Amino acid sequence: MIEQILSNMWYIRPEIALTITCLAAILADVFFKRKALVAGVVLGGLLASGVLLMEQYGVSAPAFSHMLAVDPFSVYFRGVILVTAMFVVLFSLSSVEINNPRLRVGEYYALIVAMTLGMTLMAGSSNMLMMYLSLELTSLSSYILAGFTKNAPASAEASLKYVIFGALSSGLMLYGISILYGLTGSLDIYAINHVLMTMGANRLALLIAGVLIMAGFGYKISAVPFHFWTPDVYEGAPVTITAFLSVASKAAGFSMLMRFMKVTFIDSTFAGPVGTWALIPGFEFTNILIVLSVLTMTLGNLVAVWQKNVKRLLAYSSIAHAGYMLMGLVVLGNDGFAAVLIYFVIYMFMNLGAFFVVMLVSNKTGSEHIDTYKGLGSRAPLLSVAMAIFLVSLTGLPPTAGFIGKLYLFAALINAKMIWLAIVGALNSVVSLYYYVLIFRNMFLREGTGSTEPLKFALSDNIILFLLLIPTLVLGLYFTPLVQFAQYSVAMFGVR
């Protein structure tokens, strides 16, 4: 038993590195006066974790008696989460609101690492106990981070709303877990699948359990109708944390949902074409997902049109993007999953980029209102052009990467002959154009009312901007490596 545990330690080396980093950050906070050093420690730790993660490339095995699965799928998502965390730490270094002397920045970095740890564990969880624990680790850290600028009333309010919604959803999810446990007598999702396939279960009870558990996932990926916290939290939280939540937290939620769906409810006797699968007979989970997906993207896009705060606008846009990605799940095929994986990397670059620009603008002007962006095209041309590119990419126009993401999603839908869902998705992206355009309309078409002097940004800021901008453009024209990596990474341990 002990030997098994010790030998399994290899599988969680990236997580161990993160744990050590978290502790080191707390210690560094005590000993270093300059808080940028804490950020340095954290960056080093994230990098080390990333290196250790690369060693797991190609591995596919269960760890700790099926508590975690280490497979290409989890490596892919953990990679996305770690890269996002690194960018967020870099953002934080130049954020004015975070580096307020009245705040304890050291804790902030430690919490970011704790949250990253929770999310990487979410990506690999194959036991409902582990799923719940890692979800809560992520959530608890993010509650505090959302309210980190606690003297700002909006931030504290966002944090409270986040806690209440989070606790409610995780309570619902936990009740679903307990019902599923009652139906099958197991917490291991592989064992649950086995029981469901061999013995069957009461359909109604199973559906209730599925819907309740979906509440937990829906909250993490901010799918309608579990999205109510999203705009408030995104608006109230510091921009860096908003960016983190919108990308990494969503990625973790999606990875857990995809694994849960594919492992737990898959029909293991299904003999269709390679790369497609079916859910256990009588379990109509896909219809629920279709409804969720359509509601999520439509509501996200329609409400975003009315927003005046850019952070809030991007919050609704991120809800809409969750809706697009859900379309990839309903296909019930590897191509749909691969499309979601591709989308996530692209979404990471473009969405982080958009939030980074929002942060830089609010650093200089202290405002996130859409009117602040008026005349920005002449005051900060590089920044404005970059923002326009990120927004065009979020809309999904070529030759930016966002187009490739949408292309693969639609391709998966059309290949599965779900034409009408594809049409709904396509029309939604037309709606989304309208509100993304509002931002660059203000930047280029309108004259600023206030100061007209140029905004200057530090070299480091420009470098980060280019680190996000170049992939957004290059992946739009040459996406072979990304697609190959994603297609390789849909493989999960234990399912075909």
Partner 1 sequence: MMEFKILGIGILTWITFLPVLGMIVVLALPKDSKSVTRWTSLAFTALQLVLAGVIFMNFGRGIPGVNSLDGMQFKELATWIDIKSVSWFGRIHIDYFVGIDGISTPMVLLTALISFIAVLSSWNIEKSVKGYFALLLLLDTGMMGVFVSLDFFLFYVFWEVMLLPMYFLIGVWGGPRREYAAIKFFIYTLLGSVLMLLVILALYFSVAIVDPATGEKMHTFNMLAMMNPANFEPGSILAGLNTYWRYVAYVGLFIGFAIKVPIFPFHTWLPDAHVEAPTAISVILAGVLLKMGTYGLMRIAFPIFPDAAIYFLYPLAFVGFINIVYGALCAMAQKDFKKLIAYSSVSHMGVVILGMAAMNTQGMVGAMFQMFNHGTITAMLFLIVGVIYDRAHTRGLDDFGGLMNQMPKYSAIMVVAFFAALGLPGLSGFVSEAFSFLGAFQTFRWVTIASTLGIVLTAAYMLWTLQRVFLGTLPEKWKDLPDINGREMVALIPLGIIVLVLGVYPSPMLDIMNSSANALVDFVKSGSGLALLGR
Partner 2 sequence: MISIEYYLLLSAFMFCAGVVGVLVRRNAIVVFMCIELMLNAVNLTLITFSAYFGDPRGQVLVFFVMVVAAAEAAVGLAIVIALFRNKLTVNIDEINILKW
Binding site for partner 2 (CB under 8 A): 128-129, 132-133, 136, 140, 143-144, 147, 150-151, 153-154, 156-161, 163-164, 167-168, 171-172, 174-175, 177-179, 181-182, 185-187, 231-232, 235-236, 303, 306
Q: Can you tell me which of 437, 455, 474, 495 binds partner 1, judged by CB under 8 A?
A: 437
Q: Give the separation between CA 81 and CA 87, rounded to whole angstroms.
A: 10
Number of neighbours of residue 197 by Cβ within 10 angstroms: 15
> Would you say 70 or 128 has its CB closer to partner 2?
128
**Are 424 and 351 within 8 A, CB to CB?**
no
Q: Give the separation between CA 65 and CA 80, rounded to whole angstroms.
A: 26
Q: Does 474 bind partner 1 (CB under 8 A)?
A: no
Q: Least distance (Å) from partner 1 to the CB of residue 223?
A: 23
For 115, the token pair is: 């949250």
AA identity, residue 33: K
Q: Does 484 bind partner 1 (CB under 8 A)?
A: yes
For 422, the token pair is: 């594809």
For 450, the token pair is: 């206030």
Q: Least distance (Å) from partner 2 to the CB of residue 6?
A: 21
> Would you say 209 or 464 has its CB closer to partner 2?
209
Annotate each residue in 388-427 with x if it binds partner 1 (CB under 8 A) or - if it does not, as one string: x---x--x-xxx---x---x--xx--xx-x-x--xx--xx
> Would you say 64 or 488 has its CB closer to partner 1?
488
Q: Which does 441 bind (CB under 5 to 8 A by kind): partner 1, partner 2, none?
A: partner 1
Q: Least distance (Å) from partner 1 to the CB of residue 410?
A: 6
CA proximity to 127, closest of 256, 258, 265, 267: 256
Q: Does 444 bind partner 1 (CB under 8 A)?
A: yes
Site for partner 1 in 263-322 (CB under 8 A): 273-276
Q: Which does 203 bind (CB under 5 to 8 A by kind): partner 1, partner 2, none?
A: none
AA identity, residue 137: L
Residue 57: C-alpha distances to residues 285, 409, 489 (Å)? 32, 25, 9
**Are 347 and 320 within 8 A, CB to CB?**
no
CA proximity to 58, closest of 482, 495, 491, 496: 491
Q: Which does 427 bind (CB under 5 to 8 A by kind): partner 1, partner 2, none?
A: partner 1
Q: Which does 338 bind (CB under 5 to 8 A by kind): partner 2, partner 1, none?
A: partner 1
Q: Least distance (Å) from partner 1 to the CB of residue 447?
A: 11
Q: Point out which span in 55-63, 170-178, 247-255, 431-439 binds partner 1 (CB under 8 A).
A: 431-439
Q: Which does 140 bind (CB under 5 to 8 A by kind): partner 1, partner 2, none?
A: partner 2
**Are 209 and 180 within 8 A, CB to CB?**
yes
> Would you say 174 or 468 has its CB closer to partner 2?
174
Number of neighbours of residue 430 by Cβ within 10 angstroms: 11
Q: Can you tell me which of 334, 351, 362, 363 binds partner 1, judged by CB under 8 A?
A: 334
Query: Residue 404 is inside which H or E element, if any?
Result: helix 401-415
> Would you say 87 or 143 has its CB closer to partner 2?
143
**Are 239 and 98 within 8 A, CB to CB?**
no
Distance of CA 176 to the CA centre of its chain: 23
CA proximity to 91, closest of 308, 378, 362, 370: 362
> Would you say 145 or 352 has its CB closer to partner 2?
145
Residue 83: C-alpha distances to residues 340, 345, 467 (Å)? 17, 10, 12
Q: Least distance (Å) from partner 2 to the CB of residue 182?
A: 4
Q: Which does 163 bind (CB under 5 to 8 A by kind): partner 1, partner 2, none?
A: partner 2
> Would you say 168 or 397 has its CB closer to partner 1?
397
AA identity, residue 232: D
SS (HEC) of 344-362: HHHHHHHHHHHHHHHHHHH
> Would you say 129 or 419 has its CB closer to partner 1?
419
Q: Which does 156 bind (CB under 5 to 8 A by kind): partner 1, partner 2, none?
A: partner 2
Collapsing DSSP to helix, strand or coil, 495 comes out as: coil
Alpha carbons within 13 A on the beta-carbon side of 25: 28
Using the structure block, give the residue that is written with the tokens 């293991």.
Answer: 268
Contacts with partner 1 by CB under 8 A lie at: 273-276, 333-335, 338, 378, 388, 392, 395, 397-399, 403, 407, 410-411, 414-415, 417, 419, 422-423, 426-427, 429-430, 433-434, 437, 441, 444-445, 478-480, 483-484, 487-488
